[in-house]
């Protein structure tokens, strides 16, 4: 331990305190004893020299009586042996001096003189009369003088020894206490400190040696150990909250961005490529709104588990939020990214069993390859998001790689989203109607198709803005407007009496999000009531995947629609996950063959087999069939040969504004003489 730390240690401070206290107390007690001894020394000196007189009285009397000078000198020498006695004199009764001895007295300091004055306050000369033996006749005098300074010096020497002994005793006691305090207090504390440092530096999980003591240090160690464990648990929980998604346990956006930053740096340093997949679940909002958030959360968790099981060792999956995921693929080329994206699409599109519900969910994927010049982790994430938008607009269940020109599409997305808010309020939306005909080419119905009369871009088809409206949730307001306007238009035609006798239906497309709303049926019924029409001529077109996302709810809603004489058709039949087992339970009236099977039908035997199966299925279930996207006579003839008797497409007519349909209703016939060269745009 460094010297400065030793000096500042608790043991040293305690020992120093004990030393100072013991020294001070020792000095106080010593001074007290010195004062007591000083008082007692004064009496002792008086008694001592009185005893000296008595002790030498007999010999001195003999010497004075017999005038024995030799004996007198012996008495004087005996007294002079006391260092404090500096003069001895024996005088006979005639006044003659028998003997006299004297030595020089040295000068002393003020303190010694003062002490001497205290010890021998009276005149320091002791004298006694000498008598004839066995009588009271005075024969002489014995006297000696005492030097108080010598007595004081002896007292000082004795007192100094006592003080030195006390000091030595205190030093010894301090040393013993220092060792004791160090062994019993400081050393365990140092051990505890070293353990704490080991926790910080090495993340050691070993308990401190003092943990099992029963004293205060043991309690301190136990308390600290408990607090440290709680801190570790809190740190783990905080780290989990800060960097991991609470629902799925996957990494969150913060951790993804950090790992993406590291991957970009590593790719730059090693001249490697990496990929970032940005995933968004198709139509998840519909499932979540129709079945509830619990089902939605369970579906999210099920999908995340599939993704986790698919991950390679160095891949990282993250949940960005809602139904959006990302997968970081370090050291992955564009070719490998193609392969991985196809695997993901196939993996996620498999059905899910969630709380007795059979759910179908696909995913759209945007892919960004890194590194690119000057791209940060935020840039790469934004690029993948941009590619994701392009994948969703391309038809869902697809993947797209980011290309720089896609940024313009994102800006267009934002522009359209903003413009849609104004379109409804400013009357920029309009319904067009595309005729539907029977095998005699008479009009049997129309399909309502929305158009946007954009103030700068002209008339926009729904394919440009409806996917965006569905993505942003604006589809609800727009969809309700379509239902209301279509009902009013049919009411107007009916009141004007311009509908042909063959007219049977006005078809309205219903979005999955609309259908999932609890108030969907109620809004349809209210729209019929406000338009003062019955539901028998209104047909609602819904997609087959929508039905299978929640079969039980779909069956119930379609039964409610049937109670109000409304008809339903399955749009784009054959392109999704239809289960024939469900068709008999659903109150479906019409199957609509998708244009993808109709195009070049006369040249493709596989499409012919699919269409034939659809028509046969409809007949067995007593359902009507209509084919959409009919664009030339060859396709029409092929459909007729397969038994289809209802058609819709550019071969007959394009979608028209309501004002132009009066003439079509009046003619009520479309002659078809040969293959048409008219190609349809997205309806």
Query: What pLDDT is attached to residue 460?
Result: 93
On whether residue 15 sits in a domain, the answer given is yes
**Cβ–Cβ < 8 Å for 678, 651:** yes
Alpha-carbon distance 629 to 650, whole Å?
A: 7
Residues in the chain: 683
Q: Which of 242, 267, 289 is the last residue of a domain?
A: 242
Q: Sort strands 138-146 and 85-92 into parallel, antiparallel or unpaired.
A: antiparallel
**Cβ–Cβ < 8 Å for 625, 644:** yes
Query: What pLDDT is attached to residue 492?
Result: 96
Q: Are residues 260 and 347 both part of a single domain?
A: yes
State which residues of the chain have pLDDT below 70. Answer: 1-11, 15, 38, 105-123, 148-150, 152, 199-214, 373, 547-549, 574-582, 673-683
Dump pLDDT digits (tens) for 361-408: 899 999 999 988 678 999 999 999 999 988 987 778 999 999 988 877
Alpha-carbon distance 621 to 580, whole Å?
A: 10
On whether residue 267 sits in a domain, the answer given is yes
Q: Are residues 502 and 650 both part of a single domain?
A: yes
| Domain extent at residue 227 | 207-242
CATH number at residue 590: 3.20.20.450
Alpha-carbon distance 8 to 494, whole Å?
A: 102
On whether residue 630 sits in a domain, the answer given is yes
Q: Sort strands 363-370 and 274-281 into parallel, antiparallel or unpaired.
A: antiparallel
Before 371, cis peptide (omega within 30)?
yes
Query: What pLDDT is attached to residue 31?
Result: 77
Q: Are residues 236 and 271 both part of a single domain?
A: no
Query: What pLDDT is attached to residue 576?
Result: 55
Q: Are residues 143 and 12 both part of a single domain?
A: yes
On whether residue 255 sits in a domain, the answer given is yes
CA atoms within 13 A on the CB side of 504: 14
Sequence-distant (≥ 6) Cβ neighbours of residue 83 within 8 angstroms: 147, 150, 154
Which tokens go with 678? Answer: 């008219």
Q: Are residues 236 and 337 both part of a single domain?
A: no
CA 447 to chain centre: 52
State the distance between the two ends of the chain, measured CA to CA, in whole angstroms: 85
Provide Rg for the chain, Cα atoms: 58
On whether residue 442 sits in a domain, the answer given is yes
On whether residue 427 sits in a domain, the answer given is no
CATH number at residue 298: 3.30.70.270
Query: What pLDDT is attached to residue 484?
Result: 96
What total of structural domains would you count in the chain? 4
On whether residue 269 sits in a domain, the answer given is yes
Query: What pLDDT is attached to residue 106?
Result: 66
Query: What pLDDT is attached to residue 32?
Result: 77
- The three-class DSSP label of residue 443 is strand
Q: Are residues 50 and 125 both part of a single domain?
A: yes
On whether residue 459 sits in a domain, the answer given is no
Query: What pLDDT is attached to residue 628?
Result: 94
Q: Is 127 left (phi over 0), alpha (psi -120 to 50) or beta?
A: beta
Q: How distant, in Å, are the alpha carbons of 264, 584, 618 from that of 580?
A: 49, 7, 10
Q: Are residues 398 and 524 both part of a single domain?
A: no
Exposure of 625 by Cβ count < 10 A (0-12 exposed, 13-18 middle, 19+ buried)?
buried
Q: Are residues 364 and 484 both part of a single domain?
A: no
Q: Which of 242, 264, 285 is the last residue of a domain?
A: 242
Q: Are residues 238 and 312 both part of a single domain?
A: no
Q: Are residues 493 and 600 both part of a single domain?
A: yes
Q: Are residues 511 and 607 both part of a single domain?
A: yes
Q: Are residues 627 and 651 both part of a single domain?
A: yes
Q: What is the DSSP letter of 680?
A: P
At residue 250, what are phi and psi to the nearest 5 degrees? -75, 165
């Amino acid at each position: 331990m460094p010297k400065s730390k030793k000096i500042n240690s608790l043991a040293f401070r305690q020992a120093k305190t004990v030393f100072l206290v013991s020294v001070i107390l020792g000095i106080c007690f010593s001074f007290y004893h010195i004062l007591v001894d000083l008082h007692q020394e004064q009496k002792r000196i008086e008694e001592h020299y009185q005893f000296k007189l008595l002790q030498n009285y007999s010999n001195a009397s003999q010497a004075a009586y017999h005038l024995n000078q030799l004996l007198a000198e012996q008495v004087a020498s005996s007294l002079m042996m006391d260092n404090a006695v500096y003069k001895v004199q024996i005088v006979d009764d005639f006044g003659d001096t028998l003997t006299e001895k004297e030595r020089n007295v040295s000068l002393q300091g003020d303190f010694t003189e003062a002490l001497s004055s205290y010890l021998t306050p009276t005149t320091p000369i002791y004298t006694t009369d000498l008598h004839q033996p066995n009588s009271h006749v005075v024969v002489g005098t014995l006297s000696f003088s005492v030097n108080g300074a010598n007595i004081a010096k002896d007292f000082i020497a004795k007192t100094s020894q006592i003080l030195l002994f006390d000091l030595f005793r205190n030093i010894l006691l301090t040393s013993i206490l220092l060792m004791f305090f160090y062994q019993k207090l400081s050393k365990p504390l140092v051990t505890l400190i070293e353990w704490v440092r080991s926790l910080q530096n090495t993340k050691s999980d070993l308990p401190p040696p003092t943990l099992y003591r029963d004293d205060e240090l043991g309690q301190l160690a136990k308390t600290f150990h408990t607090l440290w464990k709680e801190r570790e648990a809190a740190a783990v929980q905080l780290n989990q909250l800060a960097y991991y998604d609470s629902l799925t346990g996957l990494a969150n956006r913060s951790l993804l961005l950090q790992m993406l930053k590291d991957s970009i740096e590593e790719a730059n340093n090693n001249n490697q490529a990496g990929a970032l997949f940005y995933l968004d679940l198709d139509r998840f909002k519909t499932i979540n709104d129709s079945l509830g958030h619990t089902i939605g959360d369970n579906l999210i968790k099920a999908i995340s588990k599939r993704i986790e099981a698919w991950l390679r060792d160095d891949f990282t999956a993250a949940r960005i939020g809602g139904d959006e995921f990302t997968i970081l693929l370090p050291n992955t080329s564009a070719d490998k990214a193609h392969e991985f994206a196809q695997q993901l699409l196939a993996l996620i599109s498999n059905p899910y069993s969630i709380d007795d519900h059979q759910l179908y969910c696909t995913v759209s994927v945007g892919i960004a390859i890194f590194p690119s010049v000057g791209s940060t982790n935020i840039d790469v994430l934004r690029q993948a998001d941009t590619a994701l938008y392009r994948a969703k607009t391309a038809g869902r269940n697809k993947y797209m790689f980011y290309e720089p020109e896609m940024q313009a599409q994102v800006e267009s997305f934002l522009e359209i989203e903003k413009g849609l808010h104004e379109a409804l309020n400013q009357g920029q939306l309009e319904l067009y109607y595309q005729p539907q005909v029977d095998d005699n080419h008479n009009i049997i119905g129309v399909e309502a198709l929305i158009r946007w009369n954009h103030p700068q871009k002209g008339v926009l088809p729904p394919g440009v803005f409806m996917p965006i409206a569905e993505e942003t949730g604006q589809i609800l307001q727009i969809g309700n407007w379509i239902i209301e306007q279509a009902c009013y238009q049919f009411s107007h035609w009916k009141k004007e009496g311009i509908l042909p006798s063959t007219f049977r239906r006005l078809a309205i497309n219903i979005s999955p999000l609309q259908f999932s709303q609890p108030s969907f049926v109620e809004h349809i019924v209210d729209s019929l009531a406000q338009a003062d029409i019955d539901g028998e001529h209104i047909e609602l077109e819904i997609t087959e995947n929508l039905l299978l996302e929640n079969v039980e709810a779909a069956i119930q809603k379609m039964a409610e629609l049937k109670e109000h004489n409304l008809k339903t058709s399955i749009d784009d039949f054959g392109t999704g996950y239809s289960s024939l087992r469900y068709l008999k339970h659903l109150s479906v009236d019409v199957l609509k063959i998708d244009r993808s099977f109709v195009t070049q039908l006369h040249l493709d035997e596989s499409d012919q087999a699919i269409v034939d199966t659809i028509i046969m299925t409809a007949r067995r279930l007593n359902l009507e069939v209509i084919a959409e996207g009919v664009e030339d006579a060859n396709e029409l003839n092929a459909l007729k040969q397969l038994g289809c008797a209802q058609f819709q497409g550019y071969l007959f007519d394009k979608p028209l504004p309501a004002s132009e349909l009066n003439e079509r209703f009046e003619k009520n016939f479309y002659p078809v003489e040969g293959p048409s060269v008219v190609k349809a745009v997205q309806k």
